[in-house]
Structure 1
Amino acid sequence: MENFHLKFFADNPKSPKKLGDLEIPTEFCYHIITNQIDFYEVNKEKLDVLLSHSPFQKDSAIRKTSKFSKNVIEIGPRVAVKTAMCSNILSAFETAGIKNISRIERSIRYETTKNDLFELLADKMTEQIYDENVNFENNYKEIENFYEIDILSDKSALEKANLELGLALDNSDIEFYYDYFANKLGRNPTDVELFDLAQSDSEHSRHWFFRGNLKIDGKLVEGGSLMSKIRKTLDTSNKNSLIAFHDNSSSIKGFENVSRLRPNNPTTASSFDIHNSPSNLIYSAETHNFPTGVCPFQGATTGTGGRIRDIHSTGRGAYEIAASVGYSFGNLNIPGWLMEWEDEIEKRESYPKSLSEPLKIAIEASNGASDYGNKFGEPVICGFARSFGQRIGGERIEYVKPIMFSGGIGSIDDDEIEKKKCEPGMIVAKIGGPVYRIGVGGGAASSVDIQGKREDFLDFAAVQRGDAEMEQKMHRIVRGCAERNEGNPLLSIHDQGAGGNGNVIKELVEGCGVIVDSSEFILGDSSISLRELWTAEYQENDAALIDPQLIDIVQKIAKREKCHISLVGKVIEDQIIQLKGPQGNAVNLDTKQLGEREKKTFELETRAKKLVPLEIPKNLKLLDALNRVLRLPSVASKRYLTCKVDRSVTGLIAQQQCVGPLHTPLADVGIVALSHFEKVRDF
């Protein structure tokens, strides 16, 4: 049946687009692939309601002609990528009875004569410029196959691959993997295997520095690694820790009898009852520093999304309640508003090409975290903002790579605390969004000692892109499984982060092995390679071990929530990790033979700093000093943070960010409840 590419236009409520002093009129263009030539006429009324930004305004209706006749730059998602927006709109169309449509994508048209604005207007990793003949069909090809790195003939091939693929391996890593493949296995590695191991073995994932031996000025630090010192705090605690250092977040003992609403049957529409059961407290925090530095908005959204997945992937499934956020960045250098402690514009410090400047980070990172929380439905109830950049003793001290902190509190039922150990026959499932070429190599990218050294395309490829609606769907699947009265079909669950499937699936099947079939993954980008399928973070995604007898339960919940679930593999007894591609095994790793690596030793040196005593200008007046303090970002108004984020959704927030009758002063504490039915809780 023949498909037609139809274009419909609509007003953009954010028109015009402002770039400094330049204002550019914009409009939306919807590209629809359908086999119904009269699709517009048949569905116009529904399209006006579903696609217009305001169904109550006649002038915002969908139209068949553009307002712009010439001088147009049109930017939209890459044609090979079926976006999250497409999936969500098609889901809504199906519910509304709109049929005969296979794809819909939205672009933005800019009326301007300037042709060099792509870098400013677009996300170059996920978008492209459209011409009049843009084609959303016939852009598909077979999944790109793997290839071997010939290290048996030339050991330097491993060093070359390290640079070209951005693996961030140090000399000890290269020696270790050369020995593993050349001497233990007697074969060449594939590009997928090397990329997999580089992410799984990165500082980001394995925390070599925290777990390693430290030598300061040639002397071994006593008392073990930094990690062992942190672990020792549990020995002196009041023994209320339930989970520490072996799950996605920590948990402490909560309360014996908490009243909460639970559905009688999470697989379908059902009544709710009040259940009284033990409930414990969980907290998780992470930083998304490197991605936020490269793409502030997307880096912060996915920092928030990743931490939310850490919360609900605790144990065998848990619940989010509220979040805290924090940002540390360098001097803002606001044009026309330089602070006395900032460098003059002509003396301003430079930033690596691939990292954003502090002002952009402060605005867009906070926008990203707030946007994701608002869309997902998680309130932010506390946080911080810090700015610093000075030369001290001639050395530049500044948050060049920013800190984006995301923390969250939640709860977990007492019987969901422990993940089940893997056993042969268990099903490996992927829950969440489809496979996209985003978040590729994030583990290695975050582990580079100095950002800005790598090729720009490697840094941009490593940044994930967020979809809060998909995460909410996935969250409801996890929650539905955990709330099931007859038992949780999820035996173990981990969120997918840096390293992608190669990291998260190995975590799930530790002590066993797994055979994974690449053809079972749902692709959002048909041009994906096996390396990207196996190691990219993609969309919001979890991996889980499922009881084979309860597969249908999980699939029913997933169908109800309109969320993807793919049964991609099965646990085996032998400790072998296999990824089957169209032309053979792209990954075939013997994890038992790979073994545990020795601790790394890090040589550190103390460096004396010549600090100059603080000198306060003699002519500095009290009001001038006060004015400086009040303009410091850590002290100044936080309305740019508090006024754009939901602070009370869920109904479990007892104290949000602000206090007082006008909610102007910041609170010094955030308080949440575990139940909608109780006001007081005794500790």
Structure 2
Amino acid sequence: FARSFGMLLPGGDRREWVKPIMFSAGIGAIEDWHVHKEQPEPEMDVVKIGGPVYRIGVGGGAASSIQVQGDNTAELDFGAVQRGDAEMEQKMNRALRACIESRDSNPICSIHDQGAGGNGNVLKELSEPAGATIYTSKFKVADPTLSVLELWGAEYQETNALLMRSKDSEFLRAVCAREKCPVDFVGKITGDGKIVLVDDRDISVKADLPQCQPSPCAARPVDLKLDWVLGKMPQKEFKLNHVKLNLQPLTLPAELTVREALNRVLRLPSVASKRYLTNKVDRSVTGLVAQQQCVGPLHTPLADVAVVALSYFDTIGAATAIGEQPIKGLIDPGAGARMAIGEALTNLVFARVTELKDVKCSGNWMWPAKLPGEGAALYDACVAMCHAMAELGVAVDGGKDSLSMAARVGQETVKAPGSLVVSVYAVCPDITGTVTPDLKNPHGQGVLLYVPVTPGQYRLGGGALAQCYSQIGNDCPDLDSPHRLVSCFTVTQQLLEERLLSAGHDVSDGGLLTCMLEMAIAGNCGIELDISNSDSSVIELLFSEELGLVLEVSEMAVNAVCSRYRAAGLQCCRIGSTVGEGAQSMVRVRVNGDEVLSERTATLRSWWEETSFRLERLQSHRACVEEEERGLEHRVAPKYKLSFQPAHIPRPSTDSGVCEPRVAVIREEGSNGDREMVASLVMAGFQVWDVTMTDICSGLSLDSFRGVVFVGGFSYADVLGSAKGWAATVHFNPMARAEFARFRSRRDTFSLGVCNGCQLMAQLGWVASEADMELSDDGAARQGVLLTHNRSGRFESRFVTVAILESSSVLLRGMEGSTLGIWVAHGEGYMQFESEKVLTLVTENGLAPLRYCDDSGAPTEQYPQNPNGSPLGMAGLCSADGRHLAMMPHPERCTLLWQWPWMPQDWRQSLSSSPWLRMFHNAFQWCSQGL
């Protein structure tokens, strides 16, 4: 998940700068037998796998040790820039995964990722305590001018170091060759306890030297005992001094109204919509994402917690959430740290986890620690975090730091507020038990309950309202009673398990009223609030950011829910209900009997979304951004329709001796949608093979396969255009070209191309080919349509609506007339036809069976319901004989109900399986009829 914030605060000689950032947190899973590394043994190979050596991060190592960024040279700053290579990272991870999934044959004895310190750090730690000799000539270098120092210290990414035994080297080389991943055998474990770097690049006889016996004339720029550099380094001593803060009480305008305050708070970047972030990153990739950033019928970026499944065939997974409160830390570093923990847990609480004691967290520190007073503040925050964690029973098991969060601008030093980002994570026993913030029971059927964690406190310091008036204040919210948070967490988890909560959201940036408005905005409905409180002013009550939860429950569950919290020593009070839905819904707020706000939900949403759309105008096609902004005011929940009854389709048994039809899931360098595609095909009953283009180009025959599926992703990073690199591999490799031509000419085969695979099929002429549409037996496959850049000019990740029209497609049989939600994730999906004749042939012959729809279910070219602008809302194409289907949306990421980010409540309650599974079952049935 991402949080972003940005503003300037006055601060005497220095300026406190909350710079706009995006913080991402991720989690993974590992088999228990891979938890422990083997100890290094003499003669083990030291291996580097992944990208070649670049002069990247050399300056980063130096920059992170200076006091203020900007004091170093331009060359050093350039060298500090990390430049990622996602495709290389993926190739490396695929090679590692192939080793790991070999189970007992896994050749990896020990592995270590490369980060700070580069080779000079990772290889020392990997070989400890045995020691190793490393040879510079064995590294692949991307720049031949690299010095030995740069090779040893550059923090270039997308590379890991590992240990393995020589007998397994051929297996690793073969795996890496299949995945096109570089691998270097750079040295040997020696057992002498020393780390030795031999610079043998310029020795002409180096190829004849045994690895552990370097030539006497070879330089040894590193020759150190590991104890000296890892175990017995002298400890630094820091002398920290506190700097007395000149904090002033918060002073707000005397006649400040709730409406005026909201008008400012809802536009603050830390409070406002993050739509400009979430729709440009792939939120559905892997098909294992059970809860991503967006919620509700309009896919509002508001989720509290992220949830991922561990398998396509179970509902066990993991949940993660984050918390950060840097502005409150300016008032009290300890309070800022405790509030970060509190925010993280009140986010995590809306996903089912095993127990609070099972929650672990990572602490990520970003602090200008070397400036006066900041080191002491960092220490205070760390102590506060440790004490709070101990009382909560939550363990910190990792973290990162960046302690150079200051820069010189002219003669002025600008520093970022010290920030602690707490990332919490835990096992999720049921990924379907997650509750989202969007209100789900309009027309008075939903009751809103408020559960404060710090009852009776209404501190405004360090909050969004204070920031909107360029102030900080002198008294900020705090986690006063960790035991009360424990009780709140425990009770809420029990209510989740009993399915008594329909929606929930944490009180955080913006305060109680913002929390409730966000729930209404996400649910696209209205609310009526009636709050009685004589202990505080209206502004304090509604805008204080004290920890708490707001819950939506049914009328029948109100008493039961309230009594559960009260029995745990917590307050739980009824504060409102839902009223109406759609564009005309209203928000009405009464405090102590006086109406303090009456406004349309759509108007409040426009305030909340405005900052995001302003940022979006700087990044996307302006007309598209304005089209989405205008349309959002009138949006309603999409009207889905089913023309068939989805039923659970059990995987056919093989006991009868009938062979399952084979399907090849074909991927290329950069593909990323193969695993979810394999799972969908396995659910339908196919025998599925993972096939790379390397396999095809090496002579693998497709004769035994009934189907091929070209999966989504970014083949060759799509740097030349969508799937052009992949298509070139087919066109210019005689073996591959002949194999695919033979497969397509068979009448007993089918093909499916999704996203990047759709682009490939268009390039190859398998769909929208003029010869195919005119049913010419001897017509060559020629490209009739080009998938090009989205009208918005950027990558689009959205959950859209498509209508399925009548067509000859064998994969869509029986689905005609349905209107369904589906994921899209592409940057080049606009269908540009070669000529009007081709477009006419496609439409007149029913060869565009999938159309993007508006909320009423009608095909549309309107953005963002049509995310790429394709004519007539075209989202997919099929061949004239129906055997080949190419589509930009991702059905393989919607074959399970929990993969859908939203569906109507009655569907959620009545369906036992996803409608999109029918498509894969159709393919299986078609293949079975010909067996």
Q: Name the TM-score, length of structure 1 as normaliser.
A: 0.46
Higher RCO (C-alpha 8 Å, min separation 6): 1
Question: Which structure has the bigger radius of gyration?
Answer: 2
| TM-score (ref. length: structure 2) | 0.35
